[in-house]
A and B are shown apart, each in its own frame.
Chain A
Amino acid sequence: TQLLEQSPQFLSIQEGENLTVYCNSSSVFSSLQWYRQEPGEGPVLLVTVVTGGEVKKLKRLTFQFGDARKDSSLHITAAQPGDTGLYLCAGKGTSQGNLIFGKGTKLSVKP
């Protein structure tokens, strides 16, 4: 069974701080996706990483896929209150497989 471990589970920081969320597994994934979910809404896809070692940037968010495609990280620079939400990583064992979700990181950014 493929599992994705996310850490930390909860994170409360002040506006302007930097943070990193980790997503780790002992299994290899063909792709990994990051989502943000706000209360009362469904998860919104932020990025998909496919290639080992790949780095993608989305404004203040930087996503990295590990060289062995077993882990990923999300780094947020100068966090803002609008970044508050539940961040979920999800991986696919194969391109046709189902998504496996981590348990999520609940981020709170205080003004």
Chain B
Amino acid sequence: SAVISQKPSRDICQRGTSLTIQCQVDSQVTMMFWYRQQPGQSLTLIATANQGSEATYESGFVIDKFPISRPNLTFSTLTVSNMSPEDSSIYLCSVGAAYEQYFGPGTRLTVT
């Protein structure tokens, strides 16, 4: 299994601002995933980030709103841009192979 850490663990932000979330993995991985979990809801995939290429975004998510960086095989960032209260969610970083996927502890974002 992989050990995944995220920073910050939580934040309260004002609407219109941006927040960058960091994800660090203790081993080199090819694919990293970013998920959103809205209050009381399940997980929705935002994008898949491969090192050395542009992230692949799921339907309903765009690069301008959620830019992602993947500078190396152990690190990725997700930025939530021009935030609104609807962006209040838990954002989760994940890594995995074919049959096993592991999650970070999440970043709890509240937008006021």
Q: Which listed residue, B33, B100, B103, B108, touches A43 by the CB 8 Å rule?
A: B103
Expressed in whole angstroms, the Cα–Cα distance for A99 and B48 within the complex equals 11
Tell me how many residues of B have a C-beta within 8 Å of chain A. 23
Would A95 and B98 be within 8 Å (CB), given that A88-B43, A103-B42, A104-B42 are in contact? yes
Residue from B4, B33, B48, B103 having most chain A Cβ neighbours under 10 A: B103
Q: Return the chain A residue nearest B58 by Cβ.
A: A98
Interface of B is mostly: strand
Q: Are B99 and A48 in contact (CB under 8 A)?
A: yes
Expressed in whole angstroms, the Cα–Cα distance for A44 and B106 within the complex equals 12
Q: Which listed residue, A40, A43, A92, touches B43 by the CB 8 Å rule?
A: A43
Would A42 and B106 be within 8 Å (CB), given that A98-B48, A99-B45 are in contact? yes
Expressed in whole angstroms, the Cα–Cα distance for A104 and B33 within the complex equals 20
B41 at the interface (CB under 8 A from A): yes
B14 at the interface (CB under 8 A from A): no
Q: Which listed residue, A40, A45, A102, touches B101 by the CB 8 Å rule?
A: A45
Q: Are B45 and A41 in contact (CB under 8 A)?
A: no
B92 at the interface (CB under 8 A from A): yes
Residues on B with beta carbons closer than 8 Å to the beta carbon of A72: none
Residues on B with beta carbons closer than 8 Å to the beta carbon of A104: 42
A73 at the interface (CB under 8 A from B): no
Expressed in whole angstroms, the Cα–Cα distance for A92 and B100 within the complex equals 10
Mark A residues whose CB is within 8 Å of B.
31, 33, 35, 40-45, 48, 50, 88, 90, 92, 95-96, 98-99, 101-104
Given contacts A42-B4, A43-B43, A95-B98, 18 further A-B contacts (CB under 8 A): A35-B103, A40-B105, A40-B106, A41-B105, A42-B92, A42-B94, A42-B103, A43-B92, A45-B102, A48-B99, A48-B100, A88-B43, A90-B43, A98-B33, A99-B45, A101-B42, A101-B43, A104-B42
Mark B residues whose CB is within 8 Å of A.
1, 4, 33, 41-45, 48, 58, 92, 94, 96, 98-106, 108
